[in-house]
Amino acid sequence: MAWCCFLCALLGLPIALILLVFALDSVGLWRPLNDRIMPYMNAHISKSYNKKMESVKQELFKDISKSSVDGKLTILEIGVGGGANFCFYPPGTEVICAEPNPHFDKFLKKSASIYPNVSIRDWLVTGAEQLPTLKDGSCDVVVCTLVLCGVKNIDMVIKETHRVLRPGGVFYILEHVAAPSGSWLLYLQRLITPFWSAVFCGCCLTRDPWQNIQDVGFTEVDIRHFSAPLNWLLIRPHIVGHARK
Q: Which structural domains are found in the chain, ordered by start?
A: 33-244 (3.40.50.150)
pLDDT (mean) for 52-70: 94
- pLDDT value, residue 7: 42
pLDDT (mean) for 212-241: 94
pLDDT (mean) for 155-177: 97
Q: Which pLDDT tens digit goes with each residue over 123-155?
A: 999 999 999 999 999 999 999 999 999 999 999
Using DSSP bridges, classify how beta strands 118-124 and 139-145 pair: parallel, antiparallel or unpaired.
Answer: unpaired
* Long-range contacts from 132-135, C-beta under 8 angstroms, 24+ separation: 134/76, 134/96, 134/164, 135/164
Helix or strand holding residue 167 (H, E): strand 165-176
- Mean pLDDT score of the chain: 88
C-alpha span between 175 and 236 (Å, rounded): 10
Question: Above 60 in pLDDT, residue 202?
Answer: yes
pTM for this entry: 0.88
What lies within 8 Å, CB to CB, of 23 at 6+ separation is: none
What lies within 8 Å, CB to CB, of 81 at 6+ separation is: 39, 42, 46, 99, 101, 104, 107, 108
Give the lowest-confidence range in 85-89, 171-175, 191-195, 221-225.
191-195
Q: Ranked by mean pLDDT, which of 22-26, 99-103, 196-200 comes out on top?
A: 99-103
